[in-house]
Chain A
Amino acid sequence: MTTQYDADVVVIGSGALGSNAAYELAKQGRSVILLEAGSRIPRWKILENFRTSSRKANFNDPYPNEPWAHTSYDPEYLENTGSFNFRPGMLKLVGGTTWHWAAACWRYLPNDMKLNTLYGVGRDWPIEYDTLEPYYQQAEEALGVAGNGEEDQSGQGGKAWPPRSQPYPLPPDATTYMNQQLVKRLAPEGYHYIHEPNGRVTRPYDGRPACCGNNNCMPVCPIGAMYSGDMHATHAENAGAKLVTEATAYKLEKGAGNKIVAVHYRKADGTDARLTARYFVVAAHGLETPKLLLISDVANSSDQVGRNLMDHTGIGLLMIGDEPLWPGRGAVQQGGIFNWRDGDFRKQHSAVKHSMSNAVPNRTITERLLKQGVIGPELDERIRHDAARWIDVGTVFEMLPNPSNRVTPSTKKDALGIPMLRVNYDVDDYVKAGKEIAKKDYARFAKIFNAEVIEDESGWQNRDHIMGTVIMGSDPKTSVVNGDCRTHDHENLFLATTGVIPASGVINPTLTGVALSIRIADTINKEI
């Protein structure tokens, strides 16, 4: 007798990772149901919400915060018990949090994936770079990545690295005047300024217009030149997937042979439904995915679900340089300094990445001047002077997995009666040692640009790169998923989230997450 299923595959979460997995599966003729906790909001509404927001520095503000689908800035939804207010800007709506990212699309280095073997700290990936490389290429094509394939992205000024089987799908955007000037002054001092590969198309691509520098990648690209996950949610639907919105998964049901047989979800109106499938892919981001596993009591024989939480916790430097550079022309960021991306120093301290913001700085500058009481003709003069010379450096550090940095279900429940999130997060000595290195760089930057330093002790900052919470490894006793992102405990349950990443490096993890998700779809396709 043949078992009947509601779908071949149920994908939970319609962000960039879930939607790419759903699309790849639907394209191969698989029946796919895509569940999304939030609503579907058209771009124009988000754009108008932004333009009429009184809090434009708050990237979650233009997005819905519903009692049944909170944003992460709601303190009720995400409570902290550690020393640091871990509060990434996560969204719940079709397309997920790639609605507001700056679309940095780096690949990990081969060495990033062998951290423990090479440097004796943290963990190795259970797969090698070569295994992931073809999927990186596919992910770059899906997201429309524009990049410079000629540079040594390891930041050592060597040959083109990491290795690529094919060129970037799109040529890089032209180097901004600011970055041309930055390179002129940083290169003689030994700093390697590297172009950032990014998901902003440089010519029309997949129905998207070329980026023309509207300078609002966060919190919303007004024209859709920048990639966001809703694009592949739509592609998945067009390929035959069924998208169900306002549907929050709250239970994965176990059955015979330790397989997952069903997912239970609750609609915003409180009604419940149960879906059966051959395979389940949880793509509910790095905090919600482990929470769903924990409240379902699945995939946790290792006791590692929710542990090893890593962000690229960072610091910042603000200064006013000695020449007009004019940040704000083009996209909000274009590159960074990668000298501390890889090397033997990783035995002692974290890797470090610095990037210079290219966001229009007028609001930050004007707020500062008004706080100083500057009004009258001087105000206009100073806004122009400072805006031309504003240098905003964002620094990130490589984190190591630590089991006590963790997310667990909260005792508080949302409007649907589903537990919300509790996080415990502290910054360790490996990162603190990296900070000392970064501060030395800050002093050198200030000297190179003869700068007035506005802020060089920012305190730890969120970077919204959630990793480690459903950690990948070869040993089922110490990890949650294997190198295929398949849970060790349940052969038909896969996790499509940057939460699988076991060694964080210093690069934005979304492209890697999409590559892993496409690889999940490939694995499931072969097995069905």
Chain B
Amino acid sequence: MSNPPVTQAVGGDALPENPARRRVLISAGLVAAAGALLPWARMAYAESPAQASPAQLDAFLRLGQRLTGREHLPPDISARLFAALAQGDRTFGANVSRLIQAMDAAGISDMHRFKGSSVDTNPEMKALAVSIVSGWYLGYTGTPVGLAVKDDTQFITYTGALMFEPTRDVTAIPTYARAGTDYWAAAPASIATD
């Protein structure tokens, strides 16, 4: 599940065989449009990162794949995550490039090599990596505030949130069903090895 280093991707010519990449024809305008199409109008698409080039978004997608250990991730969700994290942070794009370079330099071609690496022990780089992983896993950015009507969170994805993948064979993504009434009485099929 390892991904190659992606420094070249910033140049825009890496991995031509990657079918996901062909869908990354995202201009700044399209990022805004993706935001506008969300049914939840809170997405601050007007503030989406006009500075994000297709190459940057491509690199960010592959960084997300590397950080989460997924071979494929949806480019549209990646672009939405980039927009949310970059909102109000003009240095975000440059910081992402620095993280990619640092991971390449540390030889972190996959996340088995992350723990204890120079990126892991660099608080700034680690925090950025966690914030990107957090968006992919939780499906939102920001910090929720309980018992309130406002906070700085932004919606990224629900069914695409990676936190559900490790338990997909046992529990449902809430609101969806996995079997009929009373299925829950039987032990999960995996119980002996859990």
Instruction: Give residues in A with beta carbon < 8 Å to B.
Output: 47-55, 57-58, 60, 65, 71, 73-75, 85, 87, 89, 173-177, 180, 202-203, 210-216, 220, 222-223, 324, 326, 328-330, 359-360, 362-363, 365-367, 370, 373, 375-381, 383-384, 387-388, 462
Are the C-beta atoms of B184 and A176 separated by less than 8 Å?
A: yes
Are the C-beta atoms of B149 and A73 separated by less than 8 Å?
A: yes
Are the C-beta atoms of B40 and A52 separated by less than 8 Å?
A: yes
- Contact flag A177-B144 (CB < 8 Å), given A50-B175, A370-B134: no
Are the C-beta atoms of A373 and B167 separated by less than 8 Å?
A: no
- Does B98 sit at the interface, judged by CB under 8 A? no
Q: Which residues of B contact A48 (CB under 8 A)?
A: 39
Give the contact stretch, choosing among B16-24, B45-53, B157-165.
B157-165
Which among A57, A174, A377 is the interface contact of B182 at CB below 8 angstroms? A174
User: Bound state CA distance, A381 and B55, in angstroms?
Assistant: 32
Are the C-beta atoms of A213 and B179 separated by less than 8 Å?
A: yes
Are the C-beta atoms of B172 and A328 separated by less than 8 Å?
A: yes
- Does B92 sit at the interface, judged by CB under 8 A? no
Q: Closest 5 A-B residue pairs measured CB to CB?
A: A376-B111, A174-B182, A174-B185, A328-B171, A330-B184
- Contact flag A54-B154 (CB < 8 Å), given A329-B170, A375-B130: yes
Q: Which residues of A contact B141 (CB under 8 A)?
A: 54
Which among B147, B164, B172 is the interface contact of A213 at CB below 8 angstroms? B172
Are the C-beta atoms of B155 and A52 separated by less than 8 Å?
A: yes
Min CB–CB distance B157 → chain A (angstroms): 9
Min CB–CB distance B146 → chain A (angstroms): 7
A-B contact pairs, 19 of them (CB 8 A): A51-B158, A52-B38, A174-B182, A176-B185, A212-B180, A213-B177, A213-B179, A324-B188, A326-B188, A360-B167, A360-B173, A362-B171, A366-B163, A370-B133, A375-B67, A377-B111, A380-B165, A384-B194, A387-B171
Are the C-beta atoms of A383 and B188 separated by less than 8 Å?
A: no
Min CB–CB distance A43 → chain B (angstroms): 11
Are the C-beta atoms of A52 and B39 separated by less than 8 Å?
A: yes
User: Bound state CA distance, A49 and B149, in angstroms?
Assistant: 14
- Contact flag A214-B163 (CB < 8 Å), given A54-B153, A87-B147: no
Min CB–CB distance A511 → chain B (angstroms): 22
User: Bound state CA distance, A329 and B189, in angstroms?
Assistant: 13
Q: Which residues of A contact B94 (CB under 8 A)?
A: none
- Contact flag A51-B112 (CB < 8 Å), given A73-B149, A213-B184, A326-B170: no
User: Bound state CA distance, A292 and B153, in angstroms?
Assistant: 35
Are the C-beta atoms of B167 and A387 separated by less than 8 Å?
A: yes
Min CB–CB distance B118 → chain A (angstroms): 15
Which among B67, B129, B166, B175 is the interface contact of A216 at CB below 8 angstroms? B175
Which among B112, B174, B185, B191 is the interface contact of A376 at CB below 8 angstroms? B112
- Does B151 sit at the interface, judged by CB under 8 A? yes
Q: Which residues of A contact B134 (CB under 8 A)?
A: 370
Q: Which residues of B contact A52 (CB under 8 A)?
A: 38-40, 155, 158
Are the C-beta atoms of A384 and B174 separated by less than 8 Å?
A: no
Are the C-beta atoms of A55 and B153 separated by less than 8 Å?
A: yes
Are the C-beta atoms of A210 and B151 separated by less than 8 Å?
A: no
Are the C-beta atoms of A74 and B149 separated by less than 8 Å?
A: yes
Are the C-beta atoms of A383 and B178 separated by less than 8 Å?
A: no
User: Bound state CA distance, A125 and B156, in angstroms?
Assistant: 51
Are the C-beta atoms of B185 and A359 separated by less than 8 Å?
A: no
Q: Which residues of B contact A47 (CB under 8 A)?
A: 175
User: Bound state CA distance, A387 and B174, in angstroms?
Assistant: 14
Which among A71, A202, A215, A324 is the interface contact of B174 at CB below 8 angstroms? A215
Are the C-beta atoms of B40 and A214 separated by less than 8 Å?
A: no
Q: Which residues of A contact B42 (CB under 8 A)?
A: 54
Min CB–CB distance A381 → chain B (angstroms): 7
Q: Which residue of chain B is the closest to A87 with respect to CB atoms? A: B147
Q: Which residues of A contact B156 (CB under 8 A)?
A: 54
- Contact flag A462-B181 (CB < 8 Å), given A51-B158, A360-B171, A366-B138: no
Given contact pairs A214-B174, A375-B111, A384-B194, enumerate 10 new A-B contacts (beta carbons under 8 Å): A50-B175, A58-B147, A180-B185, A214-B175, A215-B175, A329-B170, A360-B167, A367-B138, A373-B126, A388-B170
- Contact flag A375-B114 (CB < 8 Å), given A216-B175, A328-B171: yes
User: Bound state CA distance, A202 and B181, in angstroms?
Assistant: 7
Min CB–CB distance A343 → chain B (angstroms): 32
- Does B140 sit at the interface, judged by CB under 8 A? yes
Are the C-beta atoms of B172 and A57 separated by less than 8 Å?
A: no
- Does B54 sit at the interface, judged by CB under 8 A? no
Are the C-beta atoms of A329 and B144 separated by less than 8 Å?
A: no
Which among A210, A362, A376 is the interface contact of B164 at CB below 8 angstroms? A362
User: Bound state CA distance, A65 and B148, in angstroms?
Assistant: 11
Are the C-beta atoms of A388 and B194 separated by less than 8 Å?
A: yes
Q: Which residues of B contact A89 (CB under 8 A)?
A: 147
Are the C-beta atoms of A175 and B112 separated by less than 8 Å?
A: no
Q: Which residues of B contact A75 (CB under 8 A)?
A: 148-149
Which among A50, A176, A213, A379 is the interface contact of B178 at CB below 8 angstroms? A213
User: Bound state CA distance, A326 and B184, in angstroms?
Assistant: 10
Min CB–CB distance B139 → chain A (angstroms): 8
Q: Which residue of chain A is the closest to B164 with respect to CB atoms? A: A362
Q: Which residues of A contact B146 (CB under 8 A)?
A: 57-58
Q: Which residues of A contact B115 (CB under 8 A)?
A: 376, 378
Are the C-beta atoms of A213 and B158 separated by less than 8 Å?
A: no
- Does B12 sit at the interface, judged by CB under 8 A? no
- Does B142 sit at the interface, judged by CB under 8 A? yes
Which among A54, A211, A212 is the interface contact of B155 at CB below 8 angstroms? A54
Are the C-beta atoms of B186 and A71 separated by less than 8 Å?
A: no
Q: Which residues of B contact A223 (CB under 8 A)?
A: 177
Q: Which residues of A contact B144 (CB under 8 A)?
A: 54-55, 57-58
User: Bound state CA distance, A377 and B162, in angstroms?
Assistant: 12
Min CB–CB distance A56 → chain B (angstroms): 8
Min CB–CB distance B129 → chain A (angstroms): 6
Within 8 A of A (CB), among B76-124: 111-112, 114-115
Are the C-beta atoms of A329 and B184 separated by less than 8 Å?
A: yes
Are the C-beta atoms of B39 and A55 separated by less than 8 Å?
A: no
Min CB–CB distance A335 → chain B (angstroms): 13
Min CB–CB distance A419 → chain B (angstroms): 19
Q: Which residues of A contact B155 (CB under 8 A)?
A: 52-54
Q: Which residue of chain A is the closest to B140 with respect to CB atoms? A: A54
Q: Which residue of chain B is the closest to A72 with respect to CB atoms? A: B147
Q: Which residue of chain A is the closest to B69 with respect to CB atoms? A: A377
User: Bound state CA distance, A324 and B187, in angstroms?
Assistant: 10
Which among A175, A367, A383 is the interface contact of B166 at CB below 8 angstroms? A383
Q: Which residues of B contact A174 (CB under 8 A)?
A: 181-182, 184-185
Min CB–CB distance B37 → chain A (angstroms): 11
